[in-house]
Structure 1
Protein backbone atom coordinates (compact mmCIF):
# COMPACT_ATOMS: atom_id res chain seq x y z
CA UNK A 1 0.00 0.00 0.00
CA UNK A 2 1.21 3.49 -0.74
CA UNK A 3 -0.17 6.89 0.13
CA UNK A 4 0.07 9.59 -2.52
CA UNK A 5 -1.59 12.81 -3.57
CA UNK A 6 -4.88 12.39 -5.36
CA UNK A 7 -5.00 13.05 -9.11
CA UNK A 8 -8.02 13.93 -11.21
CA UNK A 9 -7.40 10.63 -13.03
CA UNK A 10 -8.39 8.89 -9.77
CA UNK A 11 -11.91 10.32 -10.00
CA UNK A 12 -13.57 7.20 -11.43
CA UNK A 13 -12.43 5.03 -8.53
CA UNK A 14 -13.26 7.71 -5.95
CA UNK A 15 -16.79 7.96 -7.36
CA UNK A 16 -17.20 4.18 -6.90
CA UNK A 17 -16.18 4.47 -3.26
CA UNK A 18 -18.12 7.63 -2.45
CA UNK A 19 -21.34 6.67 -4.21
CA UNK A 20 -21.45 3.48 -2.13
CA UNK A 21 -21.56 5.63 1.00
CA UNK A 22 -24.14 8.00 -0.47
CA UNK A 23 -26.46 5.11 -1.27
CA UNK A 24 -25.84 2.87 1.73
CA UNK A 25 -24.84 4.88 4.77
CA UNK A 26 -25.16 8.08 6.75
CA UNK A 27 -21.40 8.68 6.65
CA UNK A 28 -22.27 11.44 4.18
CA UNK A 29 -25.44 13.50 4.10
CA UNK A 30 -25.40 13.67 0.33
CA UNK A 31 -28.37 11.74 -1.05
CA UNK A 32 -27.84 11.83 -4.82
CA UNK A 33 -24.91 10.01 -6.39
CA UNK A 34 -22.25 12.10 -8.08
CA UNK A 35 -20.58 11.58 -11.45
CA UNK A 36 -16.93 11.56 -12.46
CA UNK A 37 -17.01 15.18 -13.65
CA UNK A 38 -18.24 16.35 -10.25
CA UNK A 39 -15.51 14.35 -8.50
CA UNK A 40 -12.87 15.84 -10.83
CA UNK A 41 -14.09 19.31 -9.85
CA UNK A 42 -13.94 18.43 -6.15
CA UNK A 43 -10.45 16.96 -6.41
CA UNK A 44 -9.17 20.03 -8.27
CA UNK A 45 -10.82 22.46 -5.86
CA UNK A 46 -9.72 20.75 -2.66
CA UNK A 47 -6.21 19.79 -3.72
CA UNK A 48 -5.42 23.33 -4.85
CA UNK A 49 -5.43 24.41 -1.18
CA UNK A 50 -5.38 21.36 1.07
CA UNK A 51 -4.06 17.79 1.20
CA UNK A 52 -6.13 15.23 -0.73
CA UNK A 53 -4.64 11.76 -0.41
CA UNK A 54 -5.33 8.28 -1.74
CA UNK A 55 -4.18 4.86 -0.58
CA UNK A 56 -3.32 2.70 -3.56
CA UNK A 57 -2.39 -0.95 -3.95
CA UNK A 58 -1.90 -2.64 -7.32
CA UNK A 59 -3.44 0.38 -9.09
CA UNK A 60 -6.63 0.12 -7.03
CA UNK A 61 -7.62 3.04 -4.82
CA UNK A 62 -8.46 1.50 -1.45
CA UNK A 63 -9.48 4.75 0.21
CA UNK A 64 -9.01 8.49 0.30
CA UNK A 65 -8.78 11.32 2.80
CA UNK A 66 -8.77 15.08 2.57
CA UNK A 67 -9.24 18.27 4.53
CA UNK A 68 -11.32 21.34 3.76
CA UNK A 69 -11.72 24.70 5.42
CA UNK A 70 -13.92 24.47 8.52
CA UNK A 71 -15.72 27.79 7.99
CA UNK A 72 -15.29 30.74 5.67
CA UNK A 73 -14.58 33.51 8.20
CA UNK A 74 -10.88 34.44 8.20
CA UNK A 75 -10.30 33.65 11.88
CA UNK A 76 -11.06 29.98 11.12
CA UNK A 77 -8.26 29.73 8.52
CA UNK A 78 -6.13 27.39 10.65
CA UNK A 79 -8.97 24.94 11.35
CA UNK A 80 -9.95 22.24 8.88
CA UNK A 81 -12.56 19.51 8.63
CA UNK A 82 -11.05 16.10 7.93
CA UNK A 83 -12.66 13.25 6.03
CA UNK A 84 -11.76 9.68 5.15
CA UNK A 85 -13.55 7.06 3.05
CA UNK A 86 -12.34 3.47 2.65
CA UNK A 87 -13.56 1.03 0.02
CA UNK A 88 -16.01 -1.28 1.86
CA UNK A 89 -14.05 -4.46 1.13
CA UNK A 90 -10.86 -2.87 2.57
CA UNK A 91 -12.19 -1.56 5.87
CA UNK A 92 -10.43 -2.66 9.04
CA UNK A 93 -7.18 -3.29 7.13
CA UNK A 94 -5.40 -0.16 8.34
CA UNK A 95 -6.14 1.88 5.21
CA UNK A 96 -8.01 4.62 7.06
CA UNK A 97 -5.31 4.85 9.74
CA UNK A 98 -2.51 5.20 7.16
CA UNK A 99 -4.45 7.87 5.30
CA UNK A 100 -5.36 9.83 8.41
CA UNK A 101 -1.87 9.73 9.92
CA UNK A 102 -0.40 11.12 6.69
CA UNK A 103 -3.20 13.69 6.38
CA UNK A 104 -2.66 14.95 9.93
CA UNK A 105 1.10 15.13 9.39
CA UNK A 106 0.67 17.13 6.19
CA UNK A 107 -1.69 19.51 7.98
CA UNK A 108 0.90 20.02 10.75
CA UNK A 109 3.65 20.68 8.22
CA UNK A 110 1.47 23.25 6.45
CA UNK A 111 0.90 25.15 9.69
CA UNK A 112 -2.71 24.26 10.40
CA UNK A 113 -3.73 24.17 14.06
CA UNK A 114 -6.95 22.19 14.44
CA UNK A 115 -8.64 19.23 12.75
CA UNK A 116 -12.36 18.59 13.16
CA UNK A 117 -14.26 15.44 12.28
CA UNK A 118 -18.04 15.23 12.05
CA UNK A 119 -19.37 11.76 12.85
CA UNK A 120 -22.97 10.67 12.40
CA UNK A 121 -24.21 9.02 15.56
CA UNK A 122 -24.38 6.38 16.69
CA UNK A 123 -21.20 5.14 15.02
CA UNK A 124 -18.97 3.35 17.51
CA UNK A 125 -16.32 2.22 14.96
CA UNK A 126 -15.75 5.77 13.69
CA UNK A 127 -15.71 7.21 17.21
CA UNK A 128 -13.15 4.63 18.35
CA UNK A 129 -11.08 5.18 15.20
CA UNK A 130 -10.89 8.95 15.67
CA UNK A 131 -10.22 8.70 19.40
CA UNK A 132 -7.38 6.22 18.75
CA UNK A 133 -5.74 8.96 16.65
CA UNK A 134 -6.04 11.56 19.43
CA UNK A 135 -9.35 13.23 18.56
CA UNK A 136 -11.57 14.23 21.47
CA UNK A 137 -15.33 14.74 21.42
CA UNK A 138 -16.20 18.42 21.70
CA UNK A 139 -19.90 18.53 20.92
CA UNK A 140 -23.02 16.98 19.50
CA UNK A 141 -25.78 18.42 17.35
CA UNK A 142 -29.12 16.67 17.67
CA UNK A 143 -31.25 15.72 14.68
CA UNK A 144 -29.46 17.97 12.18
CA UNK A 145 -29.57 15.51 9.29
CA UNK A 146 -32.48 13.63 7.73
CA UNK A 147 -31.59 10.62 5.59
CA UNK A 148 -33.25 7.26 4.97
CA UNK A 149 -36.36 8.51 6.76
CA UNK A 150 -34.59 9.17 10.06
CA UNK A 151 -33.30 12.18 11.96
CA UNK A 152 -29.58 11.87 12.61
CA UNK A 153 -27.30 13.41 15.23
CA UNK A 154 -23.78 14.53 14.40
CA UNK A 155 -20.96 14.59 16.91
CA UNK A 156 -17.78 16.61 16.49
CA UNK A 157 -14.33 15.41 17.41
CA UNK A 158 -11.30 17.70 17.47
CA UNK A 159 -7.54 17.27 17.41
CA UNK A 160 -5.03 20.03 18.06
CA UNK A 161 -2.26 19.52 15.56
Structure 2
Protein backbone atom coordinates (compact mmCIF):
# COMPACT_ATOMS: atom_id res chain seq x y z
CA UNK A 1 0.00 0.00 0.00
CA UNK A 2 0.99 3.60 -0.49
CA UNK A 3 1.42 5.70 2.61
CA UNK A 4 0.45 9.33 2.45
CA UNK A 5 0.68 12.13 4.98
CA UNK A 6 -2.07 14.71 4.95
CA UNK A 7 -3.71 17.26 7.24
CA UNK A 8 -6.20 15.85 9.72
CA UNK A 9 -9.94 15.90 9.01
CA UNK A 10 -12.56 16.04 11.77
CA UNK A 11 -13.85 12.68 10.48
CA UNK A 12 -10.50 11.14 11.49
CA UNK A 13 -11.37 11.50 15.18
CA UNK A 14 -12.77 7.98 15.61
CA UNK A 15 -9.66 6.31 14.23
CA UNK A 16 -7.37 8.69 16.13
CA UNK A 17 -9.22 7.72 19.32
CA UNK A 18 -8.75 4.03 18.54
CA UNK A 19 -4.99 4.57 18.29
CA UNK A 20 -4.69 6.93 21.24
CA UNK A 21 -6.97 5.05 23.62
CA UNK A 22 -4.77 1.97 23.27
CA UNK A 23 -1.94 3.99 24.84
CA UNK A 24 -4.26 5.46 27.48
CA UNK A 25 -5.48 2.02 28.55
CA UNK A 26 -2.24 0.03 28.38
CA UNK A 27 0.78 2.33 28.83
CA UNK A 28 2.17 5.28 30.73
CA UNK A 29 3.03 7.00 27.44
CA UNK A 30 -0.09 9.14 27.97
CA UNK A 31 -0.95 10.34 31.45
CA UNK A 32 -4.65 10.32 30.64
CA UNK A 33 -6.45 7.65 32.61
CA UNK A 34 -9.82 7.48 30.84
CA UNK A 35 -10.52 6.82 27.15
CA UNK A 36 -11.05 9.91 25.01
CA UNK A 37 -14.36 10.15 23.12
CA UNK A 38 -14.47 11.12 19.46
CA UNK A 39 -16.28 14.38 20.28
CA UNK A 40 -13.45 15.36 22.65
CA UNK A 41 -10.86 14.44 20.01
CA UNK A 42 -12.70 16.54 17.44
CA UNK A 43 -12.46 19.48 19.85
CA UNK A 44 -8.73 18.89 20.33
CA UNK A 45 -8.26 18.81 16.56
CA UNK A 46 -10.25 22.05 16.25
CA UNK A 47 -8.17 23.71 18.97
CA UNK A 48 -4.89 22.82 17.25
CA UNK A 49 -6.04 23.94 13.83
CA UNK A 50 -7.57 27.14 15.26
CA UNK A 51 -4.14 27.94 16.69
CA UNK A 52 -2.82 27.56 13.12
CA UNK A 53 -0.61 24.65 14.13
CA UNK A 54 -0.27 21.43 12.16
CA UNK A 55 -2.00 18.15 12.88
CA UNK A 56 -0.94 15.52 10.35
CA UNK A 57 -2.09 11.96 9.81
CA UNK A 58 -0.43 9.07 8.00
CA UNK A 59 -2.69 6.84 5.95
CA UNK A 60 -1.69 3.43 4.59
CA UNK A 61 -4.18 2.62 1.86
CA UNK A 62 -7.53 3.33 3.52
CA UNK A 63 -6.25 2.98 7.09
CA UNK A 64 -5.12 5.86 9.26
CA UNK A 65 -2.04 4.43 11.01
CA UNK A 66 -0.69 7.39 12.94
CA UNK A 67 -0.84 11.07 13.69
CA UNK A 68 1.41 13.89 14.84
CA UNK A 69 0.63 17.42 15.93
CA UNK A 70 1.94 20.42 17.82
CA UNK A 71 0.39 22.52 20.55
CA UNK A 72 1.44 25.74 22.18
CA UNK A 73 4.07 25.10 24.83
CA UNK A 74 2.62 27.61 27.29
CA UNK A 75 -0.06 30.31 27.21
CA UNK A 76 2.03 33.41 28.00
CA UNK A 77 3.06 35.53 25.02
CA UNK A 78 6.81 35.10 25.47
CA UNK A 79 6.41 31.36 24.78
CA UNK A 80 4.72 31.91 21.39
CA UNK A 81 7.74 30.65 19.45
CA UNK A 82 7.81 27.27 21.20
CA UNK A 83 5.54 24.27 20.68
CA UNK A 84 5.19 20.79 22.11
CA UNK A 85 5.01 17.91 19.66
CA UNK A 86 3.10 14.64 19.98
CA UNK A 87 3.09 11.54 17.82
CA UNK A 88 1.15 8.29 18.09
CA UNK A 89 1.19 5.23 15.83
CA UNK A 90 -1.04 2.23 15.58
CA UNK A 91 1.04 -0.32 17.54
CA UNK A 92 0.95 -2.69 14.55
CA UNK A 93 3.03 -0.16 12.59
CA UNK A 94 5.57 0.70 15.29
CA UNK A 95 9.22 0.04 14.56
CA UNK A 96 8.86 0.06 10.78
CA UNK A 97 9.85 3.64 9.93
CA UNK A 98 6.40 5.20 9.87
CA UNK A 99 7.03 7.25 13.01
CA UNK A 100 10.21 8.80 11.68
CA UNK A 101 8.60 9.68 8.37
CA UNK A 102 5.56 11.20 10.05
CA UNK A 103 7.63 13.15 12.59
CA UNK A 104 9.91 14.50 9.83
CA UNK A 105 6.81 15.76 8.02
CA UNK A 106 5.59 17.48 11.19
CA UNK A 107 8.99 19.13 11.72
CA UNK A 108 9.06 20.28 8.09
CA UNK A 109 5.62 21.82 8.53
CA UNK A 110 6.61 23.49 11.81
CA UNK A 111 9.70 24.98 10.17
CA UNK A 112 7.35 26.86 7.81
CA UNK A 113 5.78 28.65 10.79
CA UNK A 114 7.28 31.48 12.79
CA UNK A 115 8.54 29.07 15.46
CA UNK A 116 11.88 28.57 17.15
CA UNK A 117 11.68 25.50 19.36
CA UNK A 118 9.94 22.10 19.41
CA UNK A 119 9.70 20.31 22.75
CA UNK A 120 8.93 16.62 23.19
CA UNK A 121 7.91 15.26 26.57
CA UNK A 122 8.52 11.54 26.98
CA UNK A 123 7.25 9.44 29.89
CA UNK A 124 10.07 7.21 31.07
CA UNK A 125 11.08 4.61 30.24
CA UNK A 126 10.34 4.78 26.52
CA UNK A 127 13.51 3.89 24.63
CA UNK A 128 11.80 3.83 21.22
CA UNK A 129 10.58 7.41 21.59
CA UNK A 130 13.92 8.58 22.96
CA UNK A 131 15.71 7.01 19.96
CA UNK A 132 13.25 8.60 17.54
CA UNK A 133 13.66 12.06 19.03
CA UNK A 134 17.44 11.86 19.21
CA UNK A 135 17.69 10.50 15.66
CA UNK A 136 15.77 13.60 14.53
CA UNK A 137 18.20 15.90 16.34
CA UNK A 138 16.39 16.52 19.63
CA UNK A 139 18.56 16.73 22.75
CA UNK A 140 17.54 15.98 26.31
CA UNK A 141 17.19 19.12 28.42
CA UNK A 142 15.19 18.10 31.52
CA UNK A 143 14.08 15.18 33.62
CA UNK A 144 11.31 15.28 36.20
CA UNK A 145 11.21 12.36 38.63
CA UNK A 146 7.91 10.86 39.75
CA UNK A 147 5.84 13.64 38.19
CA UNK A 148 2.87 11.44 37.26
CA UNK A 149 1.03 8.58 38.92
CA UNK A 150 -0.52 5.97 36.66
CA UNK A 151 -1.38 2.31 37.21
CA UNK A 152 -0.36 2.73 40.85
CA UNK A 153 3.24 3.72 40.14
CA UNK A 154 5.16 6.96 39.83
CA UNK A 155 6.37 7.84 36.35
CA UNK A 156 9.22 10.13 35.31
CA UNK A 157 9.07 12.48 32.32
CA UNK A 158 12.03 13.68 30.28
CA UNK A 159 12.00 16.62 27.90
CA UNK A 160 13.86 16.85 24.61
CA UNK A 161 14.06 19.96 22.43
CA UNK A 162 14.96 20.82 18.86
CA UNK A 163 15.70 24.31 17.56
CA UNK A 164 14.05 24.92 14.20
CA UNK A 165 16.14 28.00 13.38
TM range (shorter): over 0.9
Q: CA deviation at 1:111?
A: 1.8
TM-score by length of 2: 0.96
Aligned partner of 2:77 in structure 1 is: 74
Aligned partner of 1:145 in structure 2 is: 148
Equivalent of residue 105 in structure 1, options 85, 100, 108:
108
SS of aligned partner of 2:30:
coil
- Counterparts of 1:59 and 1:47 in 2: how far apart (Å)? 23
- Counterparts of 2:47 and 2:76 in 1: how far apart (Å)? 18
Which stretch shows the higher mean deviation, 118-127 or 10-19? 118-127
Aligned partner of 1:14 in structure 2 is: 16
TM-score by length of 1: 0.98
Q: Which runs of 5+ in 2 are unaligned?
A: none
1:25 aligns with 2:11: no
SS of aligned partner of 1:42:
helix
- Summarize deviations over 1:117-143 as a string: whole Å, max 9, x none: 001112111111100000000010111
Aligned partner of 2:43 in structure 1 is: 41
Q: CA deviation at 1:95?
A: 1.3
